[in-house]
Amino acid sequence: MSVDVNEAFADERATQLRAARDRERALQDRLAAGAVERLPDGRYRVLTGWDAGEILSAQGVPQHGLDLSLGTAALYTAVPAWHALGNVIPGGTSDIDKVLELGGIDYQVESVPAQ
Q: What is the pLDDT of residues 29-53, one digit of tens each?
A: 999 999 999 999 998 999 998 888 8
Q: Are residues 72 and 43 in the same domain?
A: no
Does any domain span residue 61? no
What does the alpha-carbon distance between residue 27 and residue 12 come to, in Å, rounded to a whole number? 23
pLDDT over 80 (residue 64): no
Q: What angle do CA 104, 58, 66 make, to 5 degrees?
A: 10
pLDDT of residue 22: 92
Quote the number of domains for the chain: 2
Cα 85 to the center of its chain, rounded Å: 8
pLDDT of residue 47: 93
Q: Are residues 51 and 75 in the same domain?
A: no
CB neighbour list of residue 53: distance below 8 Å, 6 or more residues apart: 45, 46
pLDDT of residue 84: 78
CB neighbour list of residue 81: distance below 8 Å, 6 or more residues apart: 64, 75
> Whole-structure pTM over 0.75, yes or no?
no
What does the alpha-carbon distance between residue 26 and residue 48 come to, in Å, rounded to a whole number? 15
